[in-house]
Amino acid sequence: MFLILATKPLNDNTRGFRFNLLGFKGLLRIRKSLYRRPAMTKGRSMTQLHWGRFSVYAEHKANKRRIRHFAG
pLDDT in tens, 11-64: 888 899 888 888 788 899 998 888 778 999 998 888 999 998 999 999 886 656
Task: Check if the beta carbon of residue 63 is closer than 8 Å to that of residue 44.
Answer: yes
Rounded to the nearest 10°, the torsion over CA 6, 10, 15, 17 is -20
Whether pTM > 0.85 for this model: the answer is no
What are residue 46's DSSP bridge partners? 59
CA distances to 15, 17, 20, 57, 63 from 9, in Å: 8, 5, 12, 14, 21
- DSSP letter for 23, please: T
